[in-house]
A and B are shown apart, each in its own frame.
Chain A
Amino acid sequence: MRINSGIGIAWRSMSRNRLRTFFMMAGVMIGICSLTILDSVGENTKRETMKRFKNMIGTFDTVIIRPGAGKTRGMVSLTNVPPTLKFEDAAAIATELPEVKQVALLQNAFDIDVKYKDKNVSPAIFGVSANWLDLRGDQVAAGDFISGEDMQSLARVAILGRDVLSVLFPEGDAIGKAIRIGDVPFEVKGVLASRGAGPGGGSLDNLILVPVTTASKRLFNRDFLTMLIVELRDPEKSDAAVARIRALLRQRHHIAASALDDFTLTSPQAVMAQVTEMGSTLSTILKGIATIAMFIGGAVIMSLMLISVSDRRKEIGLRRSVGASRRDILLQFILEASLVSSFGGLIGIVLGLGGTNLVAGLEHLPPIFAFQALESTAGLSVGLGLVFGIYPAWRAAQVDPVEALRT
Chain B
Amino acid sequence: MIEVKHLAKTYRRGDGTPVEALKDISFLIEPGEFVTIRGPSGSGKSSLLNIVGCLDQPTSGTYRLKGEELSGYSDRQLSRVRAWKIGFVFQSFHLMPRTTALENVEIPMIYGPGRVDRKRAIAALERVGLGKRALHYGTELSGGEQQRVAIARALINDPPLILADEPTGNLDSAAGADVMGMLRSLHQEGRTVVLVTHDDAVAAYAEREILFKDGMLASDRKIAVLATD
**Across-interface contacts of A323 in B (CB, < 8 A):** 79-80, 82-84, 108, 111-112, 157
CB distance from B113 to the nearest CB of A (A): 9
A-B contact count (CB 8 A): 73
> Are A327 and B76 touching (Cβ within 8 A)?
yes
- Which 7 pairs of residues, A with B, have the shortest CB-CB distance? A323-B83, A323-B111, A325-B79, A322-B108, A407-B92, A5-B110, A323-B82
Contact of B94 among A2, A325, A328, A405 (CB under 8 A): A405
The answer for the CA separation of A319 and B107 in the assembled complex, in Å, is 7
B205 part of interface (Cβ distance < 8 Å): no
B62 part of interface (Cβ distance < 8 Å): no
**Across-interface contacts of A325 in B (CB, < 8 A):** 75-76, 78-80, 111
**Across-interface contacts of B92 in A (CB, < 8 A):** 407
CB distance from A82 to the nearest CB of B (A): 82
A402 part of interface (Cβ distance < 8 Å): yes
> Are B153 and A322 touching (Cβ within 8 A)?
yes
Interface size class of A (residues with CB under 8 A): 20 to 34
- 96-123 of chain B: CB within 8 A of chain A: 96-99, 103, 107-108, 110-112, 116
The count of chain B contact residues (Cβ–Cβ below 8 Å) is: 30
A318 part of interface (Cβ distance < 8 Å): yes
> Are A321 and B96 touching (Cβ within 8 A)?
no
If the complex has contacts A1-B111, A327-B76, are A322 and B96 also in contact, measured as CB distance less than 8 A? no
Residue numbers of B with Cβ under 8 A of A are 50, 53, 55-56, 75-76, 78-80, 82-84, 88, 90-92, 94, 96-99, 103, 107-108, 110-112, 116, 153, 157
CB distance from B169 to the nearest CB of A (A): 9
Residue numbers of A with Cβ under 8 A of B are 1-2, 5, 9, 12, 16, 314-315, 317-328, 401-402, 405, 407
The answer for the CA separation of A2 and B94 in the assembled complex, in Å, is 23
**Across-interface contacts of A328 in B (CB, < 8 A):** 79, 111
**Across-interface contacts of A407 in B (CB, < 8 A):** 90-92
CB distance from A309 to the nearest CB of B (A): 15
**Across-interface contacts of A318 in B (CB, < 8 A):** 94, 96, 107
> Are B83 and A322 touching (Cβ within 8 A)?
yes
**Across-interface contacts of A315 in B (CB, < 8 A):** 96-97
CB distance from B157 to the nearest CB of A (A): 7
The answer for the CA separation of A12 and B102 in the assembled complex, in Å, is 14
> Are B75 and A9 touching (Cβ within 8 A)?
no
CB distance from A126 to the nearest CB of B (A): 75
**Complex A-B: 26 CB contacts under 8 Å:** A1-B111, A5-B110, A5-B116, A12-B103, A16-B98, A315-B96, A315-B97, A318-B94, A320-B55, A320-B82, A321-B53, A321-B55, A322-B83, A322-B153, A323-B80, A323-B82, A323-B111, A323-B112, A323-B157, A324-B110, A325-B78, A325-B111, A326-B75, A327-B76, A405-B55, A407-B90
